[in-house]
Chain A
């Protein structure tokens, strides 16, 4: 899917930005190493001065950190608030669907669906109308939110975790480890998400959402890995890494405590955008009949079964499709806003 490429491209701009100094320094501060404390304080002062002189004008005594700046930027963007409201609302629906609808309405086993109500248009009784089994489309849409969001959340978390781990190892060690890992990344890159997913989902059958999650993670981790690899290479050349090394910190300590927190920033943006992309991908696979299987349902499977009656009863398709599109849009807008706010180039 082409969405992938944009996610990467928009965030690549971040990699030539400054490290997320504050995060690292908090990290260092938490370390109980007394030896490094003095040095860390010194580094903190220097970095803060450098940041203050380069970035926004200082307000008050304490200069804002990069994350503080990002938050400042975000707070002043209406798009951020609009997408937050949508995301919070959809999350509430996904976590507490029972507060919005009755689960019995979604199944014919519990008497919720009744053939007498075949394709009823929206009314005061059925807010979103009914489908060809006589089920209430509103209730289905509410209960379809959870699997859709669960796929997005789990897949993007795992993608970033796996991609970051491999990216940081490749970037940090360099040499033959990097060469081997980068070739593996190239190979995975040769498999497009939708086409690769179709083949794999034809041959595997995992229960519930796990087949789709598996495909998205296996085919999706490479973009996070490439991104983190390049930020790692940049981060490991910084002075604070040399300082830590001079103090005798081990490779793994430097890698996980010093380099990774600095290198992972851009992949947070990838994760946010990825959420939207993966929710769309789940819907696409489910639409093709390769995603969730009966009796599980999501917005994608609803759209899939609505297509046969779309011309007679457009509401069966338009309501789940509307929720789906709005959710994806909210995550993409959020990712967009976060990436612009985190981009230090904008602040000059």
Chain B
């Protein structure tokens, strides 16, 4: 186990440098003038241009810029807004709300997705199975902002069941609608994945053997099938972190939830490029760490992977 952990940690290092370098190269090494683009939508006064140049060290050679930026990541310096507020402070101030929303969505997609996935797998070919396959495809196809507005309008405004925006009502009341919207696409994937991998496991010899032994259906499901079906779901949930953070930009924007996503949404619209770049960098670093954790969890769940 220890060797597996160490190996995964070491593999992480080149990916970390590579990914951060990639972001930086895509932003600043392409043809065109990054200063112009980064100050898009802002008054072109010398002070603002100087601020952009300072934030991204644009007067240095490219590779020096990159290392200054990497140094910033390690020391928690992700830049400062024009009002001299550091991006990491904004992040720290707003992350609790986003985590609360993401956790709500995560619980919804996990509990509902796995439960309905099990149900459809057990009732394969039944009317509910067909309905859920169609409904999940529809959820996957609907862009999150479309779903967000429709849900907000229908349940928040028209029916008035839940608050349409803001977090005044606290958790969970204010978080249910945005949580469902944020969870929607991932919920559909978890459902389909659970169903598919359970069906595969149901067809395997050891499950047939367990049935032949006369074990109760519940034991077969819990002890024989579910644990093996969990592996693709865990993989998905690791990648899902990025989907939740990306989705939070839109969901928090629509439902006026004061988290990272709303800050990003507003900063994009106001062309606060330093805040956008800084916050997204933090999120991508968090995503890389999440992926590492999922890899480690993977090793715990499936001994075959540990000894590959």
Q: Which residues of A contact B (CB under 8 A)?
A: 1-3, 5-6, 9, 183-184, 186-188, 190-196, 198-200, 202-206, 218, 276, 280, 283-284, 287-290, 303, 307, 310-311, 314, 317-318, 321, 324-325, 328-329, 332-333, 336
Contact = CB atoms under 8 A, between A and B. Distances in A.
B23 A336 contact: no
Contact of A186 (B18, B28, B142, B240): B18
Contacts of B250: 284, 287-288
Nearest to B274: A202
A192 B242 contact: yes
A214 to B, nearest CB: 9
A5 B291 CA distance: 14
A191 B284 contact: yes
A206 B209 CA distance: 60
Interface class of chain B by DSSP: helix
A308 B209 CA distance: 60
A186 B23 CA distance: 14
B88 interface: no
Contacts of A198: 246, 249, 264, 268, 276, 280
Interface in B1-33: 14-16, 18-19, 22-23, 26-28, 30, 32
Contact of B193 (A9, A186, A318, A329): A9
Interface residues of B, number: 61
B140 A6 contact: yes
B92 to A, nearest CB: 19
Nearest to B190: A2
B287 A190 contact: yes
B268 A290 contact: yes
21 contacts: A2-B186, A192-B243, A192-B245, A196-B23, A196-B284, A198-B268, A198-B276, A199-B281, A203-B27, A203-B30, A203-B37, A287-B143, A287-B250, A288-B249, A290-B268, A303-B146, A307-B145, A311-B157, A321-B143, A324-B146, A325-B142
B293 to A, nearest CB: 14
A39 to B, nearest CB: 39
A329 B141 contact: yes
Contact of B137 (A9, A284, A332): A332
Interface string B138-150: 1011111110011
Contacts of A311: 153, 157
Highest count of chain A CB atoms <10 Å: which of B138, B254, B288:
B138
B192 interface: yes
B185 interface: yes
Q: Of B19, B146, B157, B287, which is in contact with the most chain A CB atoms at under 10 Å from its CB?
A: B146
B69 interface: no
B180 interface: no
Contact of B232 (A9, A303, A329): A9
B36 interface: yes
Given A204-B32, A284-B145, A324-B146, A191 B19 contact: yes
